[in-house]
Amino acid sequence: MSYETLLYDLTDGIAEIRLNRPQRLNAVTQQLYDELNDALTRAEAERDARVVLITGEGRAFCVGADLKAHKVGRTAFDRRQYLKGEQDVCHRLLHMKTPVIAAVNGYALGAGAEIAIASDFMLMAESAQIGLPEISIGNFLGGGVTWLLPRLVGLAKARELVFLGERIGGAEAVRIGLANRVFPDEGFLDAARAFALKVASKAPFSMQLAKEQLNLSAERTLDACLTAELEGMMFVGTTKDWQEGVDAFAEKRAPVFKGE
C-alpha cells in the first residue's frame, strides 16, 4: 500500500513512518491524518513490527495545521472531522500495543508537537524546536495534550508552555522531562533508528503490558496497580519469550524475543 502524504517502511523490526509534505513543512491535512491512522493500524498489525518510528521528511517534523488548505470551502462538519482526525491519531498513539518513537527533526509545532508528545518516546535533533502556539493565535489544544503535558513536565511548566506558546530546543525539552534524548543534527535519523533498535529488541508482550500500566497508573490506586502487575507477571510467565529470557540470562547471551 502506498500513501500520498506519508512514506512507510518496515526494516529490522522498525515500522518507519515519514510525514511527507516537505513543501509545506509536513503541515497536517485531513488526508494526512487519515493516512497516518491507516499506517499506524498497519504497523500494529505487522507481526514483524516491534516499534514505530515517526519522523518528518525534509526540514521539519510537522508545523501543525496547513492553514492554507483550510481557508475556503469547509463546512462546520468538515472542520470537526479534521479536528477529530488529530484526536484519533493521538488516541491511537497512546493506546496501540506497539511502542512509538517520535524523532523530531526541525520544527514540531501545534498538532506536530501534540503528535510527538503522545508518542511513547520523543527524540530531538539539537537544532529542533517544539512549541504549542495555539493560544497565541486564538486556537485551542488537541491530541490529549492537556492531560499528557502536566504528567510529563508538571502543572507549572505545562502552563508556561501552553499560555506563552514559546518554542524550546531539544536540550531544554530533555531537561524538563518532555523529551527523552537529544542527538546531533548530523546523523540524527541514524541515532534515532539505533534507539529504536534497542526498543525493538525487548520482549513485545512485556513492553505492551508496561505501556498500558504506565499510562493508566495515575488513574489507579496502588492496590489496583499491584493486582494488574500480578496478572501481568503471571501472563508473561506463560510465554516462550519468558523462557527465552531466563535461558539467555543463564547462558550469558542476549535474548532473541519472537513475540510468542
Distance separating alpha carbons of residues 209 and 238, to the nearest angstrom: 14
pLDDT surpassing 90 at residue 75: no
pLDDT digits (tens, 9 = 90+) for 204-226: 999 999 999 999 988 899 999 99
Average pLDDT over residues 189-208: 96
User: By the 8 A CB rule, do 4 and 31 touch?
Assistant: yes
Reported pTM? 0.93
Q: List residues with catalytic annotation.
A: 114, 134
Give the per-residue pLDDT at 71.
62
**C-alpha cell of residue 15:** 515500522
Dihedral of CA atoms 28, 63, 176, 139 in degrees, nearest 10, equals -70
Percent of the chain at pLDDT > 90 equals: 88
Domain ranges of the chain: 6-200, 204-250
Average pLDDT over residues 219-241: 94
**How is residue 63 annotated by DSSP?**
-
User: By the 8 A CB rule, do 104 and 130 touch?
Assistant: yes
**How is residue 186 annotated by DSSP?**
T
The bridge status of strand 14-19 relative to strand 6-11 is: antiparallel
Average pLDDT over residues 53-60: 97
Calculate ∠ Cα 173-176-181, nearest 5°.
45
Indicate the fold that domain 6-200 takes in CATH.
2-enoyl-CoA Hydratase; Chain A, domain 1 (3.90.226)
Residue bearing the bigger pLDDT, 218 or 68? 218
Where does the pLDDT of residue 70 fall: very low under 50, low under 70, confident under 90, or very high at 90 and above? low
Average pLDDT over residues 11-38: 95
